[in-house]
Structure 1
Amino acid sequence: MHSLVQTVLTDHEKLALKEFIDLLQASDKQYFLRNEIQQAFIEYCEKTQKPAYFFHSSPLAQLIHFTHELILEDGSIWLVLRPWVASQQVWRLSSDLSQFEQMPMRSLLDVRDRWVNRYQPNILEIDFGPFYEKSPSISDPRNIGQGLTFLNHHLCEQVSTNREFWIEALFQVLRQHEYDGISLLISNRIHSGTQLAKRVREAIQFIDQRPPNEPYEKFHPELQELGFDPGWGDTAFRVRETLELLEHLIHNPEPAFLEAFVSRVPAILRVVLISVHGWVGQESVLGRPETSGQVVYVLDQARTLENTLREQISQAGLDFLNIQPHVIILTRLIPNCEGTLCNQKLEKLDGTENGWILRVPFREFNPNVTQNWISKYEIWPYLESFAEDAEKELLKILKGCPNFIIGNYSDGNLVAFLLARRLKAIHCHIAHSLEKPKRLFSDLYWQEMEDQYHLSAQFAADLLSMNAADFIITSSYQEIVGTPDTMGQYESYKCYSMPQLYHVIDGIDLFSPKFNRVPPGVNEAIFFPYYQKEKRNVSDCERVQALLFSREDPNVTGYLEKTEKRPILAIAPVNSTKNLTGLVECFGHSQELQHHCNLILVTNNLHVANTARADEVEEIRRLHRLIEQYQLHGHIRWVGMPLPTSDLGEIYRVIADQRGIFVHFARFEAFGRVILEAMSSGLPTFATQFGGASEILQHYENSFLINPTDIEGSTQKLLNFIDQCNQNPAYWQEISDGMIQRIQDEYNWKLHTRQLLLLAKLYSFWNPVYQDNREALLHYLDALFHLIYKPRAELILEQHYRQ
């Protein structure tokens, strides 16, 4: 970047930059973000009649392209450049453009504080950078999110370069495995890595004499004499395979051998998934609108985990010891449960043999609060004591410590951090979506938002848990580092200011191998292709069809004059981010769309009287106003009620029966579970280009990714598809089949779970090697927990006492 900045300031383009800055100053603004900078540059080029090459390829155009923030301050112009993903640079130019220099990030944070008139000369600085310096790091930004692959290669390289040390480390890791006092894999008959290498060869020679299909129970005493305890396989053939993988790993380490061997190690037997918000259940209790997607995710993940673990334990030859997996979803118990089972301590998880929902109540600091459901913005004061109480319940039910703890969302991950720290378990961090990037300048204006959102506690919790986690899984690459044009969710925590509270100099290492992209799947028993008639219930189909097209109901508004038109379906909670109002505007603006299609909205609510959330009230009112404004009566139908998941699956299929389409018009979507559901059901799907949907629709991006801020362009993409379907009836089927195949190949829970367990096992190998550095990090996190998080949470608790 130095050469580019220098070129702009020493070439004839220096005058153009001065003119451009003058244009910005004339707006009476000081702080400009990327889209504003880009738009201002377009206006400047048009106003000064610059040629096309200047706008597209001049050095100044390149500099503007890389500029994500521009701040005008007395005597200085500050540029935040992002030359590539996961990288930011700060440059300060003198106001006369005679001088320039690259500045440290902490200087930028001071500038931001001055901009909001909250500069403080001495402020706490948080810097996690030193804790990652000695750890291996991914060098190519394109490989961010592929931590598993990176670590496999790194570990194998270490074995090759320092064989004795790493074989000893491998021995130490293998010997620690046990279950309720039962030694697994290696017994105390083997005393070192060197001895292990010799015994592996002896064990293979012994197994060679056994019939391949002979059950492990018949020859395990002889194998144990050699020092190999249960866990290597259920038959002689599988035991031999596993031992050979270990031998390859010792003598000829390659990533494929490491991955294959680690996948067979029975290191994960007890798993806890944490979703604290509550309202977690199986019969019409899938969270509140703000958490429903997360609850569905956790339930599906837990079921598949239990089933996969059961299969792996059997293949490891542990059935004869009666070892069973134990999977628990940990959530809060809600006394005022509104007729649901959310006040029941223990609930069996359907579709599992040993999967459970464990509900632990919040301590009753104020029963008026803690006996009811608590919003995710108000939950922070109760999490530390919840973790303490949950630990006792988990140890009692599991009859031992969990091996693996999975945190969900910011609050669930804070609890996961506290529990994993005490129980020495592997901690997986899953955010689903992070709150910080959702609100513009939420860090700088945190004080104005504090009473409503308590961002100071939430951002602190995010910093703690994402750095404490052994690994982080995301559904998309963009969650981590965004795109060349937009910042990723985790990237937004890299460097930021909470004025008069703290500065984050380096909040997370985006190049750390702890980041892994592991997308989820869908429940294939519910969301399956529309043409699988044998799996569909005829009465359910007729009932859902009536709900969507004809049935009168107090929670349904609108009617359809011509039900044979191609339906456009949207399913989303009513909030500004999901942008259903934008979709209605898009539909209302186009007479041609109304001529060809009906619009069907399925939401959680359509009456303002049924919600206390201000943003939901405004969106509902605006939807009603738009329907009147565009006179959409006869063209739109709005179903606004909570529906069971099975009905949602049938809704997609009923729309597909009529060769309809699905549109997700969100302003931003971190990933988009509904996109997977619609595609797996066979609906051609249009989705927002902002967020992870672009990765799901990567093969269809030119035609099916839409910009929700561009009503005209979005309308044209919908009409282009409809025209092609009308001209070629096979086109709808071609797109439908392709989208079904895309989900089946890339987004399924079995693949997700295998990757998740492999990661947990690999990081259980990895952590002991870097234990010293990790302990220092955990002590630092403990200090931040008590210095920053607890005081902010206690302030919220004081407010609740007064309620």
Structure 2
Amino acid sequence: MSNLIETILNSDEKIELWQFLEELRKSEKRYLLRNDIQNAFENYCKLHEKSDGFYHTSLVGKLVYYTQEIILEEESLCLVYRPKIARHEFYRIYDGLTIEPLTIQQLLDIRDRFVNHYHPEEGDVFEIDFGPFYDYSPIVRDPKNIGRGVQFLNRFLSSQLFQNPQQGLEALFRFLSLHSYNGHTLLINGRIKNSQQLSEQVKDAISFVSELPENQPYEEFRFELQSMGFEPGWGNTAGRVKETLEILDRLIDLPDPEVMEAFLSRIPMIFRIVLVSVHGWFGQEGVLGRPDTGGQVVYILDQARSLEQRLQEDITLAGLDGLEVQPQVMILSRLIPNSDGTRCNERLEKVHGTENAWILRVPFRDFNPDVTQNWISRFEIWPYLETFAIDAQKELYAELRGKPDLIIGNYSDGNLVAFLLARRLNVTQFNVAHALEKSKYLFSNLYWQDLENTYHFSLQFTADLIAMNAANCIISSTYQEIVGRPDSVGQYESYESFTMPDLFHVVKGIELFSPKFNVVPPGVNESVYFPYTRTEDRVPSKIEQLEDLLFTREDPAQVFGKLDDLNKRPIFSMARLDRIKNLTGLAEAFGLSEELQEHCNLILVAGKLSVSESTDSEEREEIEKLYRIIDQYNLHGKIRWLGVRLPKSDSGEIYRVIADRQGIFVQPALFEAFGLTILEAMISGLPTFATQFGGPLEIIQDKVNGFYINPTNLEETAKKILEFVCKCEGNSNYWLEVSNRAIARVYSTYTWKIHTTKLLSLARIYGFWNFTSKENREDMLRYIEALFYLIYKPRAKQLLELHMQR
């Protein structure tokens, strides 16, 4: 039992705990989450006139702080206690404070019983448990190191080399012998026949290149190195070759984590990369603002450009230009025949600003053309993914002239396709979730049967379990995306154990301490998003055009609202109109504060103005809600709502136009996995207010280079914005100070060069790990396949049958 609970039971606070739990029983809610529990405890303290110290520092207060759930049953209550990040304990408490620990299986039964889906008379429910499959791999011990998997892995690999040098050197020799490109051997040839000879020849090669001028091109001494057993790939100059060989020499003689990473990061083994993003409208024009598009297009296009550039730099530094090695980056997406004027019906589209990065679109098979010829929501896409992967494999082979070296999935559907492709091709698989729906929709797993017709969570959550366990490496944008904070559960952590009543129990859905997790935040496209002060790179005609659109243009087809006072400071936000992005919440917060309205105008860029323009039910509801809020709070003359889809170049300039007027940017999402728009606004120079739920907590340093808001507390949100505005009016330098710190924050941490350098380093290190480790992944992959064929595929078939009837 927890030390804290035992201490309470042996103290005077035992009575306080009992009284609090008794008052909880009076609650109308029978399933209380952390926020409910905190509010109830606050009310208890007020009712019993407890001091602030009792609320914050008493033993009971600490227990309440770390309690995530309480389920009230007739004769007892069940408590989910999270004393540390990624650690949960479960207890049942009876009258008289008799407390007994619960197993996870018992807790899942209790949750089933809560929704009246517990049927012990029918036998046990199917249990999913990935725990045993992680016994083969090393495990991170300290929660603070979760998300630093590659650092842990480097230490582990170097220690293995140190403990068994001969075995480690043999593995390294075999690994270096593998590499080739289009039939050209790389790194070492047959003249080096074993690991001992490799060690000796490295020292001889270092002596040879040390006699050469550092900048002497590799091609001028290539044949001498080949005679010693070394093929292209070590460097493009004598100095670079010497550096790489010396790193290898140090790794052989005295393995070290930093040396390990430095060496593996230089190995030319990644030339062809596939980025998978299946759902939504994926294109370069006319897609932003459409359902299921949003930030994914921006992220993946920017990533593709940066990856190609970085790969080319690596190829040049490795001395492979003479072999005419060309990097290839392929964005695999869905071809949509009825493309609504976009280019999403084109099979192949070159990515702007690249030499060899492409969007490859593969159609869904026409099971029912009325469905598959059109856009399909991310919630409905599941029946088509297996055949899509089969067809995509053929198309990728045709374009790449071979198999890729790395496949990176995006979102739940793209990650599932990445698994299917990686499994068939036997290549390294990376996952990027961006956002896991399970965290966004409260009780989505518990009430999945009620939500199934709309969201099909049974398929999505099964796909998530399959893909995240199959992946060699999981890329997250933030630490808390994995395991949350001391007071909140992470997105991946929510998959550790859960129930889908009448379908399955997840006893162990993911190992959070696995070194597969790595935090690699995305960057900003610096050619599009840059500070407003860089006037030499701004186009005056574009500035004038966007100023007109933002503030004065009268066009009922694109603009709703006319501003009475153009001199007020603009509050700006730009997002899709859906419930999670919460633009309507920002409008209501603005409406609730007449004082804020006296100082500011509210300007929203939200894609659509009319319900007739949208086919998405949630978007239509938000459009109607925004009109109601404008009327309810009489915001006419104080708000501009732009129903436009901006080209990317315009979206960069629009932030700067707002910054010219010393405006602010607000990101009011109910939850945000990361928040690219936050980076875009900050690098443009806009002081930024962003949701405290999710990734922004790791981007923004509160009250230093931005501000946190609680989007569920509208009055508090308005008050925080007003306080900033008033402070700016009292101190003419304050806006500028926050603006400059916001710009500096992005440049120091969130550029695409930083992102892709780290990503490619990970790809090489995990490639080496998969080759050298004794971890037997085949049993896990077979288990994953069983879930796919026994759970996912039959349910996908049922959904397909519904689609066939449309």
> TM class, shorter-chain normalised?
over 0.9
CA deviation after TM superposition for structure 1 residue 772, in Å: 4.3
CA deviation after TM superposition for structure 1 residue 787, in Å: 1.1
Task: Report the counterpart of residue 792 of structure 1 in structure 2.
Answer: 795
- Residue from 184, 188, 203 that aligns with 1:182: 184
CA deviation after TM superposition for structure 1 residue 771, in Å: 5.0
CA change 1:126–1:399 in 2 (3 A) is: same
For the pair 1:46 / 2:38, whether they are aligned, the reply is no
Task: Report the counterpart of residue 643 of structure 1 in structure 2.
Answer: 646
For the pair 1:148 / 2:188, whether they are aligned, the reply is no
CA distance in 2, matches of 1:622, 1:429: 36
CA deviation after TM superposition for structure 1 residue 724, in Å: 1.9
Q: Contact 2:273 / 2:406 at 8 angstroms: preserved in 1?
A: yes
2:777 alignment partner, SS class:
helix
Read off the aligned partner of 1:276 and give its amino acid letter. V
For the pair 1:313 / 2:315, whether they are aligned, the reply is yes
CA distance in 2, matches of 1:342, 1:640: 22
CA distance in 2, matches of 1:611, 1:284: 15
Q: Contact 2:291 / 2:616 at 8 angstroms: preserved in 1?
A: no
Read off the aligned partner of 1:582 and give its amino acid letter. G
2:265 alignment partner, SS class:
helix
Q: Contact 2:287 / 2:293 at 8 angstroms: preserved in 1?
A: no
Deviates further, 192-201 or 325-334: 192-201
> After superposition, where does 1:364-763 map in structure 2 within 5 Å?
364-553=366-555, 554-698=557-701, 700=703, 704-763=707-766
Read off the aligned partner of 1:256 and give its amino acid letter. E
Q: Contact 2:279 / 2:292 at 8 angstroms: preserved in 1?
A: no
CA distance in 2, matches of 1:785, 1:69: 31
Task: Report the counterpart of residue 277 of structure 1 in structure 2.
Answer: 279
Deviates further, 753-762 or 720-729: 720-729
CA distance in 2, matches of 1:165, 1:64: 52
CA distance in 2, matches of 1:644, 1:472: 31
Task: Report the counterpart of residue 20 of structure 1 in structure 2.
Answer: 20
Cα deviation per residue 1:296-343 (whole Å; 9 max; x = unaligned)? 111110011011101110110111111111110011111111222211
Cα deviation per residue 1:542-575 (whole Å; 9 max; x = unaligned)? 1110001111112211111111111110111111
Task: Report the counterpart of residue 767 of structure 1 in structure 2.
Answer: 770
CA change 1:220–1:776 in 2 (3 A) is: same
Read off the aligned partner of 1:26 and give its amino acid letter. K
Task: Report the counterpart of residue 107 of structure 1 in structure 2.
Answer: 106
2:79 alignment partner, SS class:
strand
Count of aligned pairs: 802
CA deviation after TM superposition for structure 1 residue 285, in Å: 3.0
CA deviation after TM superposition for structure 1 residue 404, in Å: 0.5
Deviates further, 786-795 or 133-142: 133-142
CA deviation after TM superposition for structure 1 residue 367, in Å: 1.1
CA deviation after TM superposition for structure 1 residue 87, in Å: 1.1
Runs of 4+ in structure 1 over 4 Å off: none
CA distance in 2, matches of 1:578, 1:331: 24
CA RMSD of aligned residues (A): 1.5
CA deviation after TM superposition for structure 1 residue 635, in Å: 1.1
CA deviation after TM superposition for structure 1 residue 181, in Å: 2.1
Q: Contact 2:350 / 2:359 at 8 angstroms: preserved in 1?
A: yes
CA change 1:771–1:416 in 2 (3 A) is: farther
CA distance in 2, matches of 1:423, 1:435: 28
Q: Contact 1:289 / 1:604 at 8 angstroms: preserved in 2?
A: no
Cα deviation per residue 1:593-612 (whole Å; 9 max; x = unaligned)? 11111111111112111113
CA distance in 2, matches of 1:710, 1:29: 21
CA deviation after TM superposition for structure 1 residue 518, in Å: 0.6
TM-score, structure 2 normalization: 0.97
2:624 alignment partner, SS class:
helix
Cα deviation per residue 1:72-100 (whole Å; 9 max; x = unaligned)? 22333211000111111111222332x32
Q: Contact 1:145 / 1:515 at 8 angstroms: preserved in 2?
A: yes
Q: Contact 2:688 / 2:706 at 8 angstroms: preserved in 1?
A: no
CA change 1:28–1:565 in 2 (3 A) is: closer
Q: Contact 2:562 / 2:636 at 8 angstroms: preserved in 1?
A: yes
CA distance in 2, matches of 1:458, 1:658: 44
- Residue from 194, 216, 220 that aligns with 2:196: 194
CA distance in 2, matches of 1:698, 1:163: 45
TM-score, structure 1 normalization: 0.98
- Residue from 188, 213, 225 that aligns with 1:211: 213
1:700 alignment partner, SS class:
coil
Unaligned runs of at least 5 residues, structure 1: none
Deviates further, 100-109 or 318-327: 100-109
CA deviation after TM superposition for structure 1 residue 14, in Å: 2.5
CA change 1:525–1:52 in 2 (3 A) is: closer
1:708 alignment partner, SS class:
coil
Task: Report the counterpart of residue 132 of structure 2 in structure 1.
Answer: 130
Deviates further, 87-96 or 687-696: 87-96
Task: Report the counterpart of residue 74 of structure 2 in structure 1.
Answer: 74
CA change 1:51–1:286 in 2 (3 A) is: closer
CA deviation after TM superposition for structure 1 residue 703, in Å: 6.6
Read off the aligned partner of 1:743 and give its amino acid letter. V
CA distance in 2, matches of 1:76, 1:36: 18
Task: Report the counterpart of residue 781 of structure 1 in structure 2.
Answer: 784
Cα deviation per residue 1:709-760 (whole Å; 9 max; x = unaligned)? 2223222221221122112211111111110111111100010000000000
